[in-house]
Amino acid sequence: MSEQPKWTGPTRPELRGLLRDARTVAVVGVSDKPARPSHGVAAYLIEHTHYEVWLVNPHLTTLFGRTVYPSLAALPSAPDIVDVFRRSSELPGITDEAIAVGANTLWFQLGLYDERLATAATSAGLTVVMDRCLKVEHRALLGPAD
């Protein structure tokens, strides 16, 4: 019996294309606390990229003068990228929700990695990026749009 190959993420050129072509990003688990990474990443995406940024947190209603949605299902349409800032224990539900809403890419932020979930999302047609920061990758591959 042969071992199944390990999951592999997109290459640098594939990441560049993914970031270049995306139009919408949902930041799941965005915080209203400026010291939190999700706050800084959301602020960067809003201020320095061409993306329409949707903020997702069931405990907030507004942030940065924008509506904060309680879930991915509540968004105006399917996001191109679902950028996840949640505990590992919440990743299965977020993965299921990203698949259900028809997202294109599931992006687990630094420290988040689960090959089983990546395989499930990839099998459902999503591109998966894990243990990477969207802000860092955007700056390195595309640079700020301002």
Structural domain includes residue 5: no
Q: What is the pLDDT along the chain (146 residues), one digit of tens a residue?
A: 455 557 789 999 999 999 999 999 999 999 999 999 999 999 999 999 999 999 999 999 999 999 999 999 999 999 999 999 999 999 999 999 999 999 999 999 999 999 999 999 999 999 999 999 999 999 999 987 76
**CA 123 to CA 145: how far, in whole Å?**
33
Helices (H), 49-145: 91-101, 115-123, 134-141
Q: What is the CATH number of the domain that holds 67?
A: 3.40.50.720
Number of domains in the chain: 1
The whole domain housing 51 covers 12-140
Structural domain includes residue 71: yes
Structural domain includes residue 80: yes
**CA 79 to CA 55: how far, in whole Å?**
11
Structural tokens at position 129: 């990026």
Which pTM was predicted? Answer: 0.94
Which 3 state secondary structure label does DSSP give 72? helix
